């Protein structure tokens, strides 16, 4: 299966098993908006809990808030979003399809990178143990040719980005013969700027309604509450404020399922520090956040840092944590050193003094900020894409199993009586009563045991517990583990501890 096909199958699976539905589906959907179903919401909540507890419980100096989506419109002037939250858009005149000019160029560069990696893989296969990768990359003519092409386009792209030179974006697209995937032509319009903020009005028109925005990030709700939290929480620098909430962006192109949506959720943490210490803290937060990801067991090789070459004018360091999605390595989380840009601007625009008095040094300053910002939905997609596995079985059939990290699984345990009679359902209900206070569960008595196992595999349930006739006499049940399909007899009273060991969020946090 190609990566594209795999992605389509995954989207269909998510719908079939109640993870994610297109929004307003019976009205033919709403572009780039999705709803979470009965399984999806639990997976999403588990991810949010893992992040929230890791931030606010494991760090004494980080507290959480929940600020409103509507905010004073001046906030978005102060933050720079009214003036500069733009994407460069370009239209293909033949297909009438719209694209982000920067994404077209980045995808083109990505394809060259793929070609290089394919060459290297070929070399590795050909030379076996004696393969010297560094030498191969430095001398193979195909690699060198592609690398030279990549360097040339990349240098032009970085220069155009720095200079905000949109005519050059278009020229790069034309020179590289980047065509529209729909029409296959290179017939492009000029590149234009497009502001991504949604707006609406507050108050009746008679009162003189105010234009307000749906927040495009949750971070500003943290900055404007900096003084409130610092004072009421008696927080001492360094300290952080964390928040999870919805954000809205009128994305130009939104074609990758929940990777890029118009309504999405962010988990953001702003860490307030003394000016001059930011690069140390930046390094520390890079490590901390990478550890949080790798701790889930989805393979360290599937993550990488991508340091920004072009920094926003207020930032002095920025990196992305990229994940190996089915469509390549793409941004999952951003970590930014934002200096005192936001607090400084809110001070200017609001006229309120936003400073921290440092009692040890007897001085006041506007704190600097390190931000960590991750999209909940992108994290859900990372988990789903990584977990989806099709596996051959001994009997020649296949099973689809979602190898979701057990603490994140929507359902932790399924309880099933072998047959619907002989007192087995009653005993199974007793097992449910044992477990339901600690774990999300499903009770299932329909169809053959094999079919029931398949259903649980498809939603990623780590354990299936079967009650059979022997259970009535020996008080034991058969526990089947999702990944290995191994079965073992376990005493009913030992079930709780056994399941807890594997699915516990606490244990996951302990490993951080």
Binding site for ligand ATP (CB under 6 A): 217, 249, 251, 260-261, 264, 266, 331-334, 373-375, 377-378
- Cβ closest to ligand ATP, residue 86 vs residue 504: 86
Residue 318 vs 413, nearer CB to ligand ATP: 318
Instruction: Report cis status (omega within 30 of 0) of the bond before 357.
Output: no
| 374 vs 431, beta carbon nearer ligand ATP | 374
If you compute the radius of gyration of the chain from its CA atoms, what whole number of angstroms results? 26
- State which residue, 156 or 260, has the beta carbon closest to ligand ATP: 260
Find out whether 330 and 320 touch, Cβ atoms under 8 Å: no
CB nearer to ligand ATP: pick between 260 and 403: 260
Minimum distance between the CB of residue 331 and ligand ATP, rounded to whole angstroms?
5
- Give the torsion through C-alpha atoms of 461, 467, 470, 473, to 10 deg: 120
Locate tokens 């390094």: which residue?
283
In the complex, minimum distance from the CB of residue 383 to ligand ATP, in angstroms, rounded to a whole number: 13
> Tokens standing for 249?
């962006």
Give the strand order in the sheet containing 98-100. Answer: 98-100, 86-91, 192-195
Q: Which residues of 438-465 are buried (b: 16+ CB within 10 A; e: fewer)?
A: bbbbbebbeeebeebbbbbbbbbbbbbb
CB closer to ligand ATP, 143 vs 247: 247
Judging by beta carbons within 10 Å of its beta carbon (0-12, 13-18, 19+), is residue 231 exposed, middle or buried? exposed
Minimum Å gap between C-beta 261 and ligand ATP is: 4
Nearer to ligand ATP, 178 or 269 (CB): 269
Residue nearer to ligand ATP on the CB measure, 244 or 435: 244
CB-nearer residue toward ligand ATP: 53 or 251: 251
Closer of 147 and 289 to ligand ATP (Cβ): 289
CA–CA gap between residue 197 and residue 443 (Å, rounded) = 45
CB of 15 to ligand ATP, least distance (A): 18
Q: Quote the least distance from Cβ 57 to ligand ATP, whole Å.
A: 23
Report the length, in residues, of the chain.
512
Sign of CA dihedral 104, 105, 106, 107: positive
State the minimum distance, in angstroms, from the CB of residue 85 to ligand ATP.
9
Nearer to ligand ATP, 345 or 466 (CB): 345
* Distinct helix (H) and strand (E) counts, the chain: 18, 23
Shortest CB 363 distance to ligand ATP, Å: 32
* Min CB(373)–ligand ATP separation in Å: 4
Q: Which helix (H) or strand (E) holds 62?
A: strand 62-65
The CB-of-267 to ligand ATP minimum distance in angstroms stands at 9
Q: How far apart are CA 465 and CA 412, in angstroms?
A: 11
Q: What proportions of the chain, in percent to the nearest 5, are helix, strand and coil? A: 45, 25, 30
Least distance (Å) from ligand ATP to the CB of residue 78?
17
DSSP state of 92: B
Between 278 and 377, name the residue whose CB sits nearer to ligand ATP.
377
* Cβ-based nearer residue to ligand ATP, 169 or 441: 169
Give just the sign of the alpha carbon dihedral 108, 309, 283, 247.
Answer: negative
- Cβ atoms of residues 477 and 414 within 8 Å: no
Min separation Cβ 326 and ligand ATP, Å = 16
Residue 264 beta carbon to ligand ATP: minimum distance, rounded to whole angstroms: 4
Strand partners, 480: 464, 487
Give the residue nearest to ligand ATP (CB). Answer: 375
φ, ψ of residue 188 in degrees (nearest 5): -105, 150
Going by C-beta distance under 8 Å and a sequence separation of 6 or more, which residues neighbour residue 380?
20, 40, 43, 44, 47, 258
Burial of 199 (0-12, 13-18, 19+ CB in 10 A): middle
Quick one: angle between helices 166-175 and 101-127, nearest 10? 40
Among residues 441, 414, 434, which one has the least CA distance to residue 496? 434
Cβ of residue 22: shortest distance to ligand ATP, in angstroms?
15
């Amino acid at each position: 299966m190609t990566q594209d096909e795999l992605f389509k199958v995954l989207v269909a699976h998510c719908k079939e098993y109640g993870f994610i539905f297109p929004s307003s589906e019976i009205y033919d959907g709403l572009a780039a908006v999705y709803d979470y179903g009965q399984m999806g919401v639990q997976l999403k909540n588990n991810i949010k809990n893992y992040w929230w507890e890791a931030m606010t419980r494991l760090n004494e100096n980080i507290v959480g808030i929940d600020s409103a989506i509507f905010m004073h419109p001046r906030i978005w002037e102060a933050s720079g979003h009214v003036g500069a939250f733009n994407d460069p858009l370009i239209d293909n005149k033949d297909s009438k399809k719209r694209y982000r000019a920067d994404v077209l160029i980045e995808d083109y560069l990505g394809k060259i990178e793929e070609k290089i990696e394919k060459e290297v893989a070929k070399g590795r296969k050909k030379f076996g143990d004696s393969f010297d990768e560094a030498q191969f990359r430095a001398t193979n003519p195909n690699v060198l040719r592609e690398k030279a092409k990549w360097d040339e386009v990349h240098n032009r792209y970085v220069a155009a980005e720095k200079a905000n030179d949109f005519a050059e974006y278009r020229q790069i697209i034309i020179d590289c013969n980047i065509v529209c995937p729909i029409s296959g032509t290179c017939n492009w319009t000029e590149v234009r700027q497009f502001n991504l903020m949604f707006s609406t009005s507050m108050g009746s028109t008679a009162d003189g309604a105010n234009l307000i925005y749906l927040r495009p990030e949750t971070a500003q709700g943290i900055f404007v509450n900096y003084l409130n939290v610092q004072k009421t929480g008696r927080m001492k620098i360094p300290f952080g404020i964390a928040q999870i909430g919805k954000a809205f962006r009128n994305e130009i192109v939104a074609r990758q399922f929940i990777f890029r949506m118009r309504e999405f959720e962010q988990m953001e943490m702003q860490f307030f520090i003394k000016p001059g210490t930011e690069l140390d803290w930046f390094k520390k937060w890079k490590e901390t956040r990478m550890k949080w990801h790798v701790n889930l067991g989805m393979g360290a090789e599937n993550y990488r840092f991508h340091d920004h070459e072009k920094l926003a004018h207020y930032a002095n360091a920025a990196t992305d944590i990229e994940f190996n999605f089915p469509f390549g390595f793409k941004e999952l989380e951003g970590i930014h050193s934002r200096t005192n840009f936001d607090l400084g601007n809110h001070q200017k625009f609001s006229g309120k003094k936003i400073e921290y008095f440092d009692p040890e040094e007897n001085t006041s300053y506007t704190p600097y900020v390190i931000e960590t910002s991750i999209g909940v939905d992108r994290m859900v997609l990372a988990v789903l894409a990584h977990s989806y596995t099709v596996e051959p079985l001994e009997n020649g059939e296949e099973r689809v199993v979602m190898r979701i990290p057990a603490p994140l699984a929507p359902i932790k345990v399924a309880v099933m009586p072998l047959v619907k009679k002989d007192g087995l359902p009653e005993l199974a209900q007793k097992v449910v009563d044992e477990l339901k206070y600690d774990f999300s569960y499903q009770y299932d008595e329909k169809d053959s045991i094999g079919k029931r196992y398949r259903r649980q595999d498809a939603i990623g349930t780590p354990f299936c517990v079967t009650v059979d006739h022997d259970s009535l006499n020996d008080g034991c049940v058969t526990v089947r583990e999702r990944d290995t399909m191994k079965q073992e007899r376990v005493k009913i009273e030992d079930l709780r501890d056994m399941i807890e060991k594997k699915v516990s969020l606490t244990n996951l946090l302990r490993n951080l």
